[in-house]
Structure 1
Amino acid sequence: MTSFIEALLPSVHDTLSLREALSKLAQCERSIKAQGVCSIKENFNIIYSCLYNVTQLKTEILDEIMNILIRGLQLLESDMKKILAEKISSDTRISYLNSLKILIYLTVEFSNHLEKKFLSSKENEILTQTQTNKKTSKKTTSKKTNPDLSINDSASHFDWNDIKEKILACLVKIVDLNIQKFWEPPIVEEQFVTTLTNLCYKLMETCQSNSIRPHQRKVIKDHLCHILAIMIKKYNHSYSACVMIVQTLPHYEHFSSVYADLIQTCVIQQGYESILPDILREFSHANLSTAAGNKENPNLKFYSQFLIELADRLASQFLPYLSLVQEFQDEESYLMRNSVFYIYGELLIKVLNKETMSDFKSKQTRDELLDHLMDHIHDTNAVVRSKTLQIWRRLCEENCIPLHYINQLMSRCVGRMEDVASSVRKSAFQLLCDLIRKNPFGIKSVEMSLEQINGELSKEEQVLNEMNKESDKLIEELNKLVQPHDDENDHQNEESMNEDQDDLELQAQKETHDQMTVIQKSKINYLKDMLGFVNQIETAIPKLSKLLFSKTQTDVLEVISFFVTCYEHGFTDMLFGIRKMLALVLNSEKTVKDAVINAYKRLYLKSDSRQQPFSVAKQLLKLTQDLTICERGALEELIGEFVINGELE
């Protein structure tokens, strides 16, 4: 952009002295107000000379210059908006194009300087305060003022963040116009786009800084996202933006969130969805070139977080580009795998859920994603195993797990209870508790024993066998009616019509019978799934009972929670585990002892019945059955604790 300015105004090299330039600033401002924004060309040397000596300028002078530029941008936007509504003459086009380039150039250069100066002043302020805190007493430090958001030269009223907000607001309005019409041919030159977007990326580095007032952070960030989104859609900045995002993501932690907001602005507000596959492809190249085989690459943390932020904002937009996401599924980095599975979870909850499922292809995609999540419960990395189980928990909470996946999931959960990693075991316990709370089979699975479910299943299978035999008979009768007819004989035609009528009746019976058969098969599948569900819970009891005495405290606490959850939700077979918990009342660790006492209090002393004393006594008597000597001693200790705490009299 500098080379263009120099070509446009050869006199730029004949800069004024700083004193002369400052004396003419007021003249420049009056000229713009009186003659319009195009007079900026004649006054360019004045402001450029100030820029040339920018390091010598005081804050009040910078304030004056920025106000001139803001006023110029506002007038430019207003004039261009009117001009674009009409036919543009060649002279007008060139005049406003030059004014646009000059104003953008000056605004960008001064903004870059002020941003640098602002950051430098804040760093010095922090350093000074740190040194002061070390040297002065509390009494002295209490008199210090809070950090000011302005650049403190001699004019404390100058607030760079306020100026920045106004400049960005003007730039949003300008780039949102069809400014390409001022170029011939109507294509905005790359140098112009690069100059403006580089400023935006620079300002993004500090847009979430604590030095900016909270309400301003969002405003400034939104302005930056809007400018870049417009440049991406309208001015061919898509490829450059993708490269910039991938390269700079690791530089600042907040970039993951800010860049995700930028992509969201492109897709939602600008309707430019192509940016999403473009950025995914660029990530693919970045991983292959910089992260392949390097599990400890620190950049992957930021790439992973960025994908997660995108999934939170644009879950539905990921669906058409699922193949691009799946490329990261087999990456060596567990962080990248976790981000992929997070995207799967968001898709299953927000897009491929029960309410929105309408076609076979969607169900196929849903099952494919569920299969991937199921497989990675056995991932080689413990962090991935734990995160995958947590995603299944979210699916359970949102009722997004199809019934035919429940048993397989329960089986995997029970298996993970013996995982070598405590974090995985904890996630497995929690998921199993969630599945029991949700219990897709309802009260029937609680009230019926395994033998009763098996008995009902056998009855329903016998009914299905009878239905299949009846179906075979109907097919035989239909086959008998399918015979060639002789159309030459009227009598035969009459018989044929009667047979056709019988044929239609049999076909109707067959269709009704087939529908009933489908319903019967659904009943059987439901009972099989219920049987598997109850069976998995009973299978888990012995394993969990052993973990009650684990050396890992989290295991013990999670098992206590599991037994209590099951018992509260009607699984009376858990009484075995509830009795085993008694021994923990004598545990030397206070956390474990308190947890088990609170568990028994929750189970046996929280009765809403009017006959509470009778109910509590009955429940405790039931607990005493088949106790060992050690467990009886623990029960005495438990009741003693209840009495001491005033919970039993």
Structure 2
Amino acid sequence: NLRMSWDFLVPVCVGDLVKTGGINQYVVQDVVPPKHLPSYLSKFKAALRSQGSLCILEHFDTGYSVLQHCNSAELAVKEDTLELLVQVVSGLASSLPEKLNAVKMSVYLLCKLTETFEINLDFVSLAQGGKKGKAGGEGLLQWDSEREKVLQALVQLLQLDIRSLWNLSLVEEEFIRYSSDGGVLVNSTVSGLAVLIQLGGVTSHFAVIQLLQHFEQLSSVFAQAVAVWSTEYGVRAIIGEVIREIGQKSSEELAREGSGVKAFASFISELGSLVPELMIPNISVLIAHLEGESNTMRVAVCEVLGEMLVRVLCGDGLDESGKADRDRFFDTLQEHLHDTHSHVRARVLQVYTRIVNSKALPLCRYSEVMELTVGRLMDKSINVVKSAIQLLAAFIAHNPYSCKLSSADLKKPLEKETTKLREMKEKLEENAPGEDELHTLKKIYILFIYFFMLSHILPNDETKANTSSLNESWVLLALTGSDEDTSELSQNLPPTPQKEGEKEGEDGELKKQEMLVQYLRDTETFALQVERAISVINSMLYWKTTSVVQEAVQFCVTVCEFSVANSVSGVRKMLPLVWSTDAAIKDAVVQAYRRLYLNPQGDTIRMKAQTLVDSLSELMVDASLGTIQCLEEIVQEFFGSSSNLQSTVVQVLWERFTGKRETSGLQRRAAVLLLGMAARAEREVVLSNLDTLCSVALGEKVTEDFLLARDAVITISSVVMEDPYWQSFMEQAVRLIYFLAESPDQLCSRLLQRSARLLLDQIAEGGEINKDVGQMQEGSQESNEQGEQVNCVCLAQLLALCGCVAFWQVSHLERSVSAELRRRRGETEEREEKEKGPSSKAKQVANESAMEEELGLIGASAEDTEAELIRKICETELLAEENLLCAFLPLLVRVCSSPGRYSHPQLTTAACLALSQYMMISPSVCEENIRLMFTVLERSAFPVVRANAIIALGDLTVRFPNILEPWTQNLYARLSDEVPSVRQTAVTVLTQLVLKDVLKVKGQVSEVAVLLIDPEPHITSLALNFFNELASKDNAIYNLLPDIISRLSDPERGMTSEDFNTIMKQLFSYITKERQTESLVEKLCQRFRTAKTERQWCDLAMSLSLLSMCERGFKRLQECWECYSDKLTEPGVYQPLLSITAKLRRGAKPQFKAQVDEFEKRLTAVHTRGLENVESPEMDEENQKQGGSTEKTVMQTPQPARGRPRTKRGQNLAMMKRRMKRVSAFT
């Protein structure tokens, strides 16, 4: 009883529990020191075993002490406390009655300690550790599993009806607050949130709104919790209350930033997907937001309407109210297909896509929604267009009409059935009673009414008397319209039931015919809309937006799979996209054709292979050359991938080609062409049966089918043409011609002419290609420039040949022709000497020296003349208009400058290499194309092209250094290329250029220094070798180091401190001379003045610490005190300089050691107290007392030789700073 005489009140902050509280309020009596906590925890544990969970009432102070010393307490202590509290809370779940204080106290401690574990940065790495192990030292806590235990204990407790512990079952708001504080419970368990909402009672919907605004990222969890409470706990009112609260939010409030509109939108959207039937009664409140400014809320409401239409308001069993709601919701969605915001339009289209896929769209709305969707294809927003394409594909996949018939095919049946309906109506009108008969029937009807009223108004006797005399005549009049006897007529009339049956039958037939006509009209309308959509979407196949093209391709596949009329047009139109430079588009087209033609159906592999060959053969039959070339890329993709069908398909193709199975000539030709396509991916497909191919197609029966022979030759040439070793063979063959042939230029000229003629013949034969591709691309948004087309491999080989000829022609002129000119000049001079005859010996001796000098000058002048002659030939004759080499230069420039049009890797590589070889001919050609070559170097999508360009530009730098000198920075830029092979090539080329003194070594060498930390070991070794070789040059690295440091420490580069230190350690290892060290100390100290950021200060200080500091360098460091003294408050500057003193102190002489110690003291003083305090007069007096006169003190700060003494103004500023600092310290 005494124990329960106080009440535990949840404090606002943790420290309040130690203060004196009010009457009967619990106060912590004893905060246990950290070193005594283990023993107190042992007592807590023993009490838990003996007393159970109520022991918390006596040992709360122990848990509070752990919480109070959380930052200093050992990890094992906190772990033990956490385990004890989990056991206490778990135990309380079975003994809750009359234990309110124990509940609040234990839950409070557990939640607060859990919050500390979550927030404290010391436990960020705990999740990465292993299971705690106290025996092996301080282990790491697996917090994820421990958190789960905490949450399980809390949820187990809160799921009980603990509200009865409070007066009037009203739970304290503070208890709810700290139970969910930090969002830990909310973030981890839906049931936990549901329980917290339940604890809140009538204010729970306000709590949901408040939590949504504070935890926007958890809106989905809140929706699940509300759904759980409404379904499992039976409290459905919560949904209406929350929706009304959100619905009452004004449009202006939701438009403000931070209003929680995203959380509200996500909440109602998720709630609509969970319990749409419970939201229908309150949906009218949300529909008001469709007129608001928040597009996010409009999207959410439309999504909720879609969920209701799909899951609740669907089917034929709806009552009148449900049908009205359904129609109203559909009308609302249709209105927002024209919403002002593109995101809303796109989301509404996606909602309709789900409705159509779920078959929840009424048939009467198909035509209207379809028309609106086709209109959205012209939307300005790409996302809306994509969503419209997806919806149209869903319409076609789930349509109730027949898509296989075109609108033209439906016209005749519709006209026929419409005529039949009109005839049936005319026939019924003829059989209908005339006007006189209708008038008589009307009189009879009125008479019967009169008798009926008379029989009820008059007395019975009068009625009988009046009716007895008129019975027969009135009855005749009522039945026949006349009072005469019509017995004969009545005998001839058919029975009444038979007449009614005939009438019902005629009406039924008429209704059936009307339904048939209406169905045909709807089908025709749908077919017209589909045809219009196909036409528009086909034009999108060549849009610049990749995602739209991908959606258009998928739409074409869908309409083709459902055999929609005119669907083949889109499939054929997207064929040229297999040559697209965009990998995503190319992959989409390849996958589309793989899905349509390369996924055969069959029970066995053999049947699947035959089906595949049949479908491909059908495409090949009567196909133009353009179509065949496009299909070739598709077939190559199939045979280039791994498939268990490939070997069987090849076998079936060979069987058809050789005639083992009865096949037509067209199928045999298709088979041999398909074999050629397969051979481009796997050459052995043809080479292994080359003899069979030649004997069947080119044997004795060749005259029977020349087309088969032609296709066989095409197949063989396609295999040989793309041999990967052809390039090296060609280069060595041309080189051999120029070394051995008597007139290599003429021979190579004939070789080029013949190769060009063969290429032109191929263009002439393929004249249909351009026409066919042009038809495919008609109406495209991005039509390619029309021109003759040729095989890219053939063109690449021709360009490679002309480039190789140009290169060896120049080499031939500069070596062989130049040597021949020198030889001929020597023979001429020798012949002239003989013709002059012998001269007097004395005269010869007297003029010997003069003659030698004269002969030397004559020889030099002659060599210059020969070199000028060769240069003139290269400049004017090699690329003259009449020379064959000149004809290829414009083509090379065009291919290199149009990477989008000429995107074939082999063609681009050959053209780039050939252009660089042309640029070797003369300076004028080099200057004209140097910008284009560097553009290729920077922007080419192929790494091999960039690598070749680097090598070529390196050769051009050696040949024309003055032209390449302004472009040096662009060469260094490739050192940071994303592809390792390009970086490796760049560093190799630059190493040769720098070490051979072709390029001047400048600050760009910092890019090579970055490669010292490259992830590729081979590149790192190349960079290391570069600096090793560069270090052999006098003062090379010494001169570059300051610039390298500045560039690498630039904040825009973003290099980490670890990488910077790694690079600097390597570079400073090359500085071994004392004079270099002394000079570098001064240069680096001076750079402190221009450094702007703390990171740059730290990098400079680190660089100073890496120098092998000597006594002269230390003296220079003292002299430059003014440069860095104001930065010493930064630890990154202070620590490296302090390490310098530690190095200098080792093995130093006593006198020098004393200077180092004094310098270290001053460093420490400035670091701890600031520069102003160290240089104050009080400090100067103290220095005088300790070290004598300041004039003789070694540690007096000297002025730099080229520095300026501090002016009076500067002294005043320093004094003002010190005064301000003292005032701030006083205040």
TM range (shorter): 0.7 to 0.9
1:76–1:100 contact (8 Å) kept in structure 2 = no
- Deviation of 1:619 after TM superposition, in Å, equals 6.1
- Deviation of 1:76 after TM superposition, in Å, equals 3.9
Cα distance in 2 for partners of 1:583, 1:44 equals 78
1:291–1:300 contact (8 Å) kept in structure 2 = yes
2:93 match = 77
1:434 match = 394
Query: Which of 281, 287, 291 pairs up with 1:326?
Result: 287
2:1023 match = none
Structure 2 counterpart SS, 1:646: helix
Residues 142-192 of structure 1, C-alpha deviations (whole Å, 9 max, x = no match): xxx9335879997648666555544544444444444444445x3324x2x
2:350–2:387 contact (8 Å) kept in structure 1 = yes
Cα distance in 2 for partners of 1:280, 1:558 equals 37
- Deviation of 1:327 after TM superposition, in Å, equals 2.4
1:446–1:570 contact (8 Å) kept in structure 2 = no
Residues 221-241 of structure 1, C-alpha deviations (whole Å, 9 max, x = no match): 145224214314xx3341442
Matches within 5 A, 1:532-543: 532-543=525-536
2:251–2:289 contact (8 Å) kept in structure 1 = no
Q: Does 1:562 align with 2:555?
A: yes
1:267 match = 230
1:139 match = none
Query: Which of 189, 205, 220 pairs up with 1:257?
Result: 220
Amino acid of the structure 2 residue aligned with 1:377 = L
Query: Which of 677, 681, 690 pairs up with 1:645?
Result: 677
Query: Which of 187, 190, 196 pairs up with 1:228?
Result: 196
Structure 1 counterpart SS, 2:289: coil
Task: Sort the Cα spacing of 1:548 and 1:121 in 2 relative to 1 into closer, same or farther, 3 A.
Answer: closer
Cα distance in 2 for partners of 1:264, 1:449 equals 53
Task: Sort the Cα spacing of 1:33 and 1:506 in 2 relative to 1 into closer, same or farther, 3 A.
Answer: farther
Q: Does 1:201 align with 2:167?
A: no
1:528 match = 521
1:105 match = 105
Query: Which of 238, 242, 249 pairs up with 1:279?
Result: 242
1:141 match = none
Cα distance in 2 for partners of 1:320, 1:329 equals 17
1:304 match = 265
- Deviation of 1:202 after TM superposition, in Å, equals 2.3
Task: Sort the Cα spacing of 1:451 and 1:606 in 2 relative to 1 into closer, same or farther, 3 A.
Answer: farther
1:188 match = 170
- Deviation of 1:640 after TM superposition, in Å, equals 5.5
Cα distance in 2 for partners of 1:65, 1:105 equals 14
Structure 1 counterpart SS, 2:245: helix
2:641 match = none
Query: Which of 624, 627, 634 pairs up with 2:626?
Result: 634
Query: Which of 209, 218, 224 pairs up with 1:243?
Result: 209
2:313–2:326 contact (8 Å) kept in structure 1 = yes
Q: Which consecutive residues of structure 2, in runs of 5 or more, have no partner in the other structure?
A: 1-8, 456-463, 481-494, 602-606, 636-672, 680-710, 713-1227
Task: Sort the Cα spacing of 1:25 and 1:446 in 2 relative to 1 into closer, same or farther, 3 A.
Answer: same
Task: Sort the Cα spacing of 1:7 and 1:467 in 2 relative to 1 into closer, same or farther, 3 A.
Answer: farther
Cα distance in 1 for partners of 2:370, 2:110 equals 63
What TM-score, normalized by structure 2, do the two folds share?
0.42
Task: Sort the Cα spacing of 1:402 and 1:426 in 2 relative to 1 into closer, same or farther, 3 A.
Answer: same
1:12–1:48 contact (8 Å) kept in structure 2 = no
Cα distance in 1 for partners of 2:628, 2:54 equals 94
Query: Which of 318, 332, 337 pairs up with 1:372?
Result: 332
Structure 2 counterpart SS, 1:482: helix
1:315–1:347 contact (8 Å) kept in structure 2 = yes
1:399 match = 359
- Deviation of 1:306 after TM superposition, in Å, equals 2.6
Amino acid of the structure 2 residue aligned with 1:146 = Q
1:467–1:517 contact (8 Å) kept in structure 2 = no
Cα distance in 2 for partners of 1:637, 1:187 equals 81
Cα distance in 2 for partners of 1:161, 1:7 equals 40
Structure 2 counterpart SS, 1:399: coil
Q: Computing the radius of gyration over CA atoms, which structure comes out larger, 1 or 2?
A: 2
Cα distance in 2 for partners of 1:59, 1:247 equals 36
1:115 match = 115
Structure 1 counterpart SS, 2:128: coil
Cα distance in 1 for partners of 2:427, 2:212 equals 62
Q: Tell me the C-alpha RMSD between the 2 structures.
A: 4.5
2:1086 match = none
Task: Sort the Cα spacing of 1:263 and 1:207 in 2 relative to 1 into closer, same or farther, 3 A.
Answer: closer
Amino acid of the structure 2 residue aligned with 1:333 = S
Task: Sort the Cα spacing of 1:50 and 1:523 in 2 relative to 1 into closer, same or farther, 3 A.
Answer: same
2:274 match = 313
Pick which of 54-63 and 376-385 moved more: 54-63
Structure 2 counterpart SS, 1:311: helix
2:344 match = 384
Pick which of 567-576 and 398-407 moved more: 567-576
Structure 2 counterpart SS, 1:272: coil
Cα distance in 2 for partners of 1:45, 1:591 equals 66
Structure 2 counterpart SS, 1:566: helix
1:73–1:103 contact (8 Å) kept in structure 2 = yes
1:12 match = 27
1:563–1:574 contact (8 Å) kept in structure 2 = yes
Cα distance in 2 for partners of 1:124, 1:157 equals 11
Cα distance in 1 for partners of 2:59, 2:444 equals 101
Cα distance in 2 for partners of 1:560, 1:39 equals 71
Residues 211-257 of structure 1, C-alpha deviations (whole Å, 9 max, x = no match): xxxxxxxxx5145224214314xx3341442232232133xx3x122
2:314 match = 353
1:277–1:324 contact (8 Å) kept in structure 2 = no
Residues 25-54 of structure 1, C-alpha deviations (whole Å, 9 max, x = no match): 655665566566666556656655665666
Task: Sort the Cα spacing of 1:400 and 1:640 in 2 relative to 1 into closer, same or farther, 3 A.
Answer: same
What TM-score, normalized by structure 1, do the two folds share?
0.74
Cα distance in 1 for partners of 2:611, 2:165 equals 87
Structure 1 counterpart SS, 2:125: helix
Task: Sort the Cα spacing of 1:601 and 1:471 in 2 relative to 1 into closer, same or farther, 3 A.
Answer: farther
1:28–1:43 contact (8 Å) kept in structure 2 = yes
1:571 match = 564
Cα distance in 2 for partners of 1:117, 1:329 equals 44
Pick which of 262-271 and 450-459 moved more: 450-459
Task: Sort the Cα spacing of 1:3 and 1:544 in 2 relative to 1 into closer, same or farther, 3 A.
Answer: closer
Amino acid of the structure 1 residue aligned with 2:221 = V
- Deviation of 1:505 after TM superposition, in Å, equals 8.8
Structure 2 counterpart SS, 1:78: coil
Cα distance in 2 for partners of 1:617, 1:158 equals 67
Cα distance in 1 for partners of 2:568, 2:141 equals 72
Amino acid of the structure 2 residue aligned with 1:221 = T
Task: Sort the Cα spacing of 1:587 and 1:70 in 2 relative to 1 into closer, same or farther, 3 A.
Answer: closer
Task: Sort the Cα spacing of 1:381 and 1:182 in 2 relative to 1 into closer, same or farther, 3 A.
Answer: closer
2:577–2:585 contact (8 Å) kept in structure 1 = yes
Task: Sort the Cα spacing of 1:494 and 1:553 in 2 relative to 1 into closer, same or farther, 3 A.
Answer: same
Amino acid of the structure 1 residue aligned with 2:208 = C
2:190–2:222 contact (8 Å) kept in structure 1 = no
Task: Sort the Cα spacing of 1:611 and 1:299 in 2 relative to 1 into closer, same or farther, 3 A.
Answer: closer
Cα distance in 2 for partners of 1:418, 1:188 equals 59
Task: Sort the Cα spacing of 1:171 and 1:456 in 2 relative to 1 into closer, same or farther, 3 A.
Answer: farther
